[in-house]
Amino acid sequence: MAENLNIEVSPLPRVEGHGDLVLNVKNKKIEKLQVRIPESPRFFEAMLVGRPYTDPSHITSRICGICSVAHTFTSLKATESALGIKVNDLILNLRKLVNYGECIQSHCLHVYFLAVPDFLGIGSVLPLVEINPAVVNIAVKMKKIGNELVRVLGGRAIHPITTVVGGFTKLPTVEDLNYLKDMLVSLYPDLETSLKVLKTLKIPDFERETEYISIFDKDEYALYDGDLKSSDGWIINPIDYLDKIKEQVVEHSTGKHCNASRDSFMVGSLARTNNNFSQLTDNAKTYAAELGLKSPCYNTLMNNIAQFVEIVHCVDDSIKIINNFLDSGLDKDKAMVKVKAKAGRGVGIVEAPRGSLIHDYTYDDEGRILKANLIIPTNMNYANIEKDLYALVPMIIEKSEDEIRLGCEMMIRAYDPCISCSTHFLKVTLINI
Amino acid sequence: MSKPKIGVFGLTGCGGCQLEVLNFEDYLLDFLNAVDIVHFTEAISEHEDTYEIALIEGSVTTKHDIERLEHIAKIAKIIIAVGACACTGGLNCLKNLYGTEKAKTLVYGDKKDWIDTIDVKPIDEYVKVDYYARGCPPTRSEIVNIVTSLIMGKVPEIPSYPVCVECKRLGNTCLYELGMICKGPISRAGCNARCPSAGFSCVACRGPIDDPNVNAQTDLLERYGLTIESVMEGFNLYNACKKIEQKSK
């Protein structure tokens, strides 16, 4: 039991980029609780100024190696909206496929290498290799398949090449599509095996209702495109996002904090399943039911389960898209639509694996950027993470310092620290040697 | 060098190069059998300062980056710059083009004094770099090749010929023939002409070759009615720190 606590985790292990947790408790009362982000600022909004419309997707892809696809597409959509370009169904579906690849890859790392050991209380995947090595192999395979979708269709697994304003510089062949389809289909037994393991996990009890924000499309479970939707009851066109989403600079963080209808909100898988559950594939819904994921769900730690359900959805829908391509064939003349520079403003929103991502560009007559604004999902979540920690700490204050530290770390990681998982990842492979 | 101790570090960048190390997938096991990773900020919580080889991603953009880099250089015997940000400063240098003070005001407004940021530089402006794994991101095999060459006591083979050589070898149609402006003729190869092969112009993410044939490039531009400026804008994307413009004149 802790009367007074001074916990400082710096850097937070297994989170992508650099973050610190500071928690000071005095007489069982929280005196200070901060998630600090001392990560070097990059100034992308400045880098973009003056660049021609062909550049932003390649520049902003470099914001994050883990969600480079999401940045690429958000950027392309913002530019295409500003230039008044409408892409055809072939381009749209091919982009969805690339986006699913990144989602599978990113969620896979998080769910298997982070969530599983955390929730089993084993601290790392290490013991899991002895208990259930099959799951570890599944995770490596699944991550690779996600990467392969991006590599084959995008030309490279990180920072895709073929994805440009107006379409694709190169289309996949029938052989490419069959290669990807066979790999995806081979994942179904693996998803079944994973389900059995995930069902044994004890997700800690926690409940704090908050505002959930994601995109929404009336025709499908929205990941690539849609309007911005809040669980607080509003839906807006992306171009009006500034009416709802507010950003502030805070002193302990180079990442800005955000709020919308209330003082904080959550984005990411759980926000998406909360907002758009009924649009998941039937298969994904069955997995959700097996794992006790309902909509709405107010337990932030269930975000890991929501991610797994989304993997199932991405696999299902990827196969459907590929089958349609194989039936209809890919018309090379449709790979690109006509692109012409003009002045205008455009906003793109895509669901990155860890939440809604917003790019907002204003172009001049020559198609050069005058102004850019980017809002990153992690920034959107910071305020909500701190609120969850404020709710969590009193719940676990009677536990040991180590348990409190772990509880806080788990809460932060539940928001999707992407590469984080790799901690366990490396440990796994080392003991195989 | 038998089973060297390796440290993997990230300064200011996107984490993509470190992710490529994790994406080794097919040869991760062999790699880990050959080396001992003792420090990997983004991947392992435990770490120790006993590395002999340092793989460094990212460019120097804060005072804190300088301190970390100098600390690493004191310990490591061999430094490998990984990726465009570390090798040439990469995309981060666009901030210098815009102006660092101006950029601070634009992004953080009246709170700009809270932010630690300096002009962007590649890491060899501060420490001696032994080998460069270029590109944005470098290819997985390239990073592995450099490290395994060192283990075997060989000098890693790093190409110093233009991307065009690889493009020709692959039988690609020249992108100039398709009406595009490609930086391949003066850009360093080693990527197996990844972008031109995907139908996209080379953006020189690996930097210029050591001794570019500027006359041939000028002739080429003239033949297609293009100016040096039209090429330089694209070149600046990854090479704004290195003042390529002066070099190529």
Dump pLDDT digits (tens) for B80-122.
Answer: 999 999 999 999 999 998 888 888 888 777 777 777 789 999 9
Q: Is A68 on the interface with B (CB under 8 A)?
A: yes
Return the minimum-mean-pLDDT range out of A62-66, B43-47, B199-203: B43-47
Kindly tell me if the per-residue pLDDT of A259 is higher than 50.
Answer: yes
- Return the residue of A nearest to B36 by Cα: A430
Winning range, highest mean pLDDT, from A113-122, A129-138, A381-390, B236-245: A381-390
Q: How far apart are CA A293 and CA A277, in angstroms?
A: 10
Please check whether residue A426 touches B, CB under 8 A. yes
Average pLDDT over every residue of B51-77: 94
Rounded mean pLDDT of A158-177?
97
Reported confidence tier of residue B249, pLDDT bands at 50, 70, 90: very low
Task: Sort out which chain A residues have CB atoms less than 8 A from B32's CB and list them.
Answer: 426, 429-430, 433
Q: Is residue A316 part of a domain?
A: yes
Residue B18 forms contact with A (CB below 8 Å): yes
Q: Does domain B5-151 have CATH number 3.40.50.300?
A: no
pLDDT at A125 over 60: no
pLDDT of residue B43: 58
Asked whether residue A298 is assigned to any structural domain, the reply reads yes
Averaged pLDDT, A290-300? 97
Both tokens of A265, joined, read 């909100």
Are the beta carbons of A40 and B12 separated by less than 8 Å?
A: yes
Residues of A in contact with B13 (CB under 8 A): 62, 65
* Residue A429 predicted with pLDDT over 70: no
ipTM, 2 decimals?
Answer: 0.91
Record the tokens describing residue B22, joined without a space. Answer: 């994790």
- Choose the closest CB to B103 out of A43, A68, A419: A43
Q: Would A26 be classed as within a structural domain?
A: no
Please tell me the distance from the alpha carbon of residue B77 to that of residue B236, in angstroms, as a whole number: 32
Tens digit of each residue's pLDDT (9 = 90 or more) over A310-327: 999 999 999 999 999 999
Query: What integer pLDDT is reported at residue A13 of this predicted model?
Result: 52
Chain B CB contacts of A370 below 8 Å: none
Q: Where are the alpha helices (DSSP H) in chain B?
A: 16-22, 28-34, 63-75, 84-88, 94-98, 100-108, 140-151, 163-170, 194-197, 214-223, 228-239, 244-248
Exposure string over B199-230, b if 16+ CB within 10 A, otherwise e? bbbbbbbbbbbeebeeeebeebbeeeeeeeee
Which pLDDT does position B136 carry in this prediction? 95
Find the range with the poorest average confidence among A81-95, A122-136, B209-223, B227-241: A122-136
How close B225 gets to chain A, by Cα (Å)?
20
Name the residue facing B98 among A47, A143, A170 (closest C-beta). Answer: A47
Residue A59 at interface with chain B, using a CB cutoff of 8 Å: yes
- pLDDT of the residue at A408: 86
Contacts with A411 (C-beta within 8 Å, 6 or more apart), sequence order: A206, A300, A301, A385, A388, A389, A392
Domain housing A350 = 44-432
Chain B CA closest to residue A114: B43
Choose the mutation target among B44, B57, B182 for the interface with A, i.e. most A CBs under 10 Å: B44
Would you state the pLDDT for residue A194? 92
Q: Does A163 touch chain B (CB under 8 A)?
A: no
- Measured between CB atoms, does B63 come within 8 Å of chain A? no
A176 in contact with chain B, both atoms CB, cutoff 8 A? no
Which pLDDT band, with edges at 50, 70 and 90, does A422 fall under? very low
pLDDT (tens digit per residue) in A200-248: 888 889 999 999 999 999 999 999 999 999 999 999 999 999 999 998 7
Give percent of chain A with pLDDT exceeding 70. 87
Dihedral Cα A47, A49, A54, A56, nearest 10 deg = 50
Domain membership of residue A220 (yes or no) is yes
- Mean pLDDT along residues A391-404: 89
Å between B33 CA and nearest CA of chain A: 7
Chain B CB within 8 Å of residue A433 CB: yes
Please, which pLDDT band fits residue A286 given cuts at 50, 70 and 90? very high
B139-175 tens-digit pLDDT: 888 888 898 899 888 988 888 899 999 999 999 999 9
User: What is the pLDDT at residue A16?
Assistant: 54
Please answer yes or no on whether A46 and B98 come within 8 Å at the CB atom.
yes
* pLDDT of the residue at B15: 85
Give the CATH number of the domain where residue A239 resides. Answer: 1.10.645.10
B143 touches chain A (CB under 8 A): no
User: How sure is the predictor about A40, in pLDDT bands with cuts at 50, 70 and 90?
Assistant: low
In the numeric block, which tokens belong to residue A333?
A: 């003349």
Query: What's the pLDDT band for B129 if we cut at 50, 70, 90?
Result: very high
pLDDT over 50 (residue A426): no
Question: Is A15 within a domain?
Answer: no
Whether B198 sits inside 8 A of A433 (CB atoms) is no
Q: Please give the pLDDT value at position A37.
A: 62
Q: What pLDDT shows up at residue A24?
A: 86
pLDDT score of B58 more than 60 = yes
Gap from A25 CA to chain B (nearest CA, Å): 25
- The domain locations on chain B are 5-151, 163-248
Residue A23 falls within a domain, yes or no?
no
E-only strand ranges, A106-191? 163-164, 167-168
pLDDT: which is higher, A229 or A135: A229
**What average pLDDT does this structure show over A65-84?**
96
Kindly list the residues from chain B whose CB atom is less than 8 angstroms away from the CB atom of residue A43. Answer: 95, 98, 103-104, 106-107, 117
Q: Are B195 and A155 an interchain contact pair (Cβ–Cβ within 8 Å)?
A: yes
Between CA A258 and CA B11 the distance in angstroms is: 26
Strand order across the beta sheet in which A355-363 lies? A344-352, A355-363, A369-375
Whose tokens are 């070759």? That residue is B209
pLDDT of residue A431: 26
Does a structural domain hold residue A243?
A: yes
Q: Is residue A39 part of a domain?
A: no
Output the average pLDDT for chain A. 88
> Picking from A256-260, A299-303, A428-432, B176-180, which range would have the lowest pLDDT averaged per residue?
A428-432
pLDDT above 70: residue A420: no
Percent of chain B with pLDDT over 90: 44
Which residue in A54, A147, A158, A366 has the most chain B C-beta atoms within 10 A of its own C-beta, making it the best mutation to test that interface? Answer: A158
B-facing residues of A in 122-161 (CB < 8 A) are 140, 143-144, 147, 155-159, 161
**Cβ atoms of A188 and A358 closer than 8 Å:** no
Mark yes or no for CB contact A42/B136 under 8 Å: no
**A58 in contact with B, Cβ within 8 Å:** yes
For residue A42, give the nearest of B12, B44, B199 by CB distance.
B12
